[in-house]
Structure 1
Amino acid sequence: MDKRGYAIIEKYTAPFVQLVLEKNQQRDVFIELSQIKEIFEETHLADFLSHIGVNQAEKSKVLRLFQTCDTVLVNNLIEVLIANGREELFYPILLDSLKKIEKQTNEFEVVIHSVEGLSDEQKARLIPLIEKKMGLKVRSIKEHLDKSLIGGFAITANHKIIDTSIKRQLKAVKEKLK
């Protein structure tokens, strides 16, 4: 996408996110947009909405299916996009809105990479440590099992990494021996 495209997306995203924060609906809107994002990813709906062979009426019809959402702000955003003939921008606006909400609230999904799954107790003990070390609030935890780590874990959130895995430690030793 070119600069003009990003500028158009920003024209919709910035006021939408500002309104979400003013109305203190960031939690509900974030959950709803995340669910819609999953649907878009599973069905490749963004490709359908941006396809030049699909007429405006069909795009509007599909996008209106998401207006059954509980959040009035999301419904209004969809209506504005349809009224302006910008249905194809819904997915990029959705992604940008999610990023902006995370940044404004400083709440992020944390991904924990480990050899084995963590218990609820272990996760509960990790949350305050993650928040302190990374300087953020944990919105949710997603686990990713990775046998190549050998032991320990790696935590990623907001482009930050805490890596205590044995794999990384062995790699560091190998580098020192060179």
Structure 2
Amino acid sequence: MKLDKYAVGQRYAKALLSLAEQEQQFESIHEEIQALETIFNGNPKLGAVLTDTTLSGLKRRELLKKLVGEFSTLMQHFLSLVFDYQRMAEMPYIIAAYEDLYDHKMGIAHAKVTSAVALDDEQITKISQSFAKREGLNRVLVESVIDPDIIGGIVLESNHKVIDGSIKHGLEQIKALLLK
């Protein structure tokens, strides 16, 4: 059975996380994953090139050596394994899955806060701390979005949860009650 890219990402990320913990390189591997993410974001076709069998294995291996040269031995071995199994095209999925696992382990969540007007840093910090406390998290990283259509209040989206405290939502609820 052929695995989809998401499943491949999950499997390799779990293995890397487990190995990083075992080797007590949890934080350093996370930093290297972030560096890899920057490389792959800057070169979106890199994974496809490293997996392309029309290129000679020697040329692809030379590219891999250039890619992994600055990384730790653990990360070099991991990338060589991914390369040997011709999974470099799935590297963005592996990186994303690793970031998710890391965030979960560290008690970090990402949230999108939508407001009708721009929020200042103090307001964002209060929202972040309040949501972190409510959800039992260590930290919440907030992305602020402006949408004048919500009229006022905020809408917070995180971890498949939506907390809608917008005036627009309140008006829609009142309208629904009146139409009953």
Q: For the superposition of Structure 1 and Structure 2, which TM-score range results when normalised by the shorter chain?
A: 0.7 to 0.9
| 1:45 counterpart residue number | 45
Mapping of 1:102-117 within 5 angstroms? 102-117=103-118
Q: Relative contact order: is structure 1 or structure 2 higher (C-alpha 8 Å, sep ≥ 6)?
A: 2
Structure 1 or 2, whichever has the larger Rg, is 2
CA distance in 1, matches of 2:175, 2:60: 55
Per-residue CA deviation, residues 38-85 of structure 1 (Å, 9 max, x unaligned), is 664565337744875753656555555543666665444323222433
Answer whether contact 1:115 1:145 (CA < 8 A) is retained. Answer: yes
Q: Which structure 1 residue ranges, 5 or more long, are not aligned?
A: none
CA distance in 1, matches of 2:71, 2:50: 26
| 1:155 counterpart residue number | 156
CA distance in 2, matches of 1:72, 1:117: 45
| 1:17 counterpart residue number | 17
CA distance in 2, matches of 1:26, 1:130: 26
Q: Structure 1 stretch 98-107 or stretch 63-72: which is displaced more?
A: 63-72
Q: Structure 1 stretch 77-86 or stretch 24-33: which is displaced more?
A: 24-33
TM-score norm. by structure 1 comes to: 0.74
| 2:124 counterpart residue number | 123
Amino acid at match of 2:141: S
CA distance in 2, matches of 1:37, 1:142: 19
| 1:33 counterpart residue number | 33
CA distance in 2, matches of 1:133, 1:29: 30
| % identity of equivalent residues | 20
| 1:173 counterpart residue number | 174
Answer whether contact 2:9 2:96 (CA < 8 A) is retained. Answer: no
CA distance in 2, matches of 1:98, 1:170: 38
Q: Structure 1 stretch 6-15 or stretch 164-173: which is displaced more?
A: 6-15
CA distance in 1, matches of 2:64, 2:140: 28
Query: Per-residue deviation at 1:158?
Result: 1.4
TM-score norm. by structure 2 comes to: 0.73
> Which secondary structure state, in structure 2, belongs to the residue aligned with residue 136 of structure 1?
coil
Query: Per-residue deviation at 1:131?
Result: 0.9
Answer whether contact 1:64 1:78 (CA < 8 A) is retained. Answer: no
Q: Which structure 2 residue ranges, 5 or more long, are not aligned?
A: none
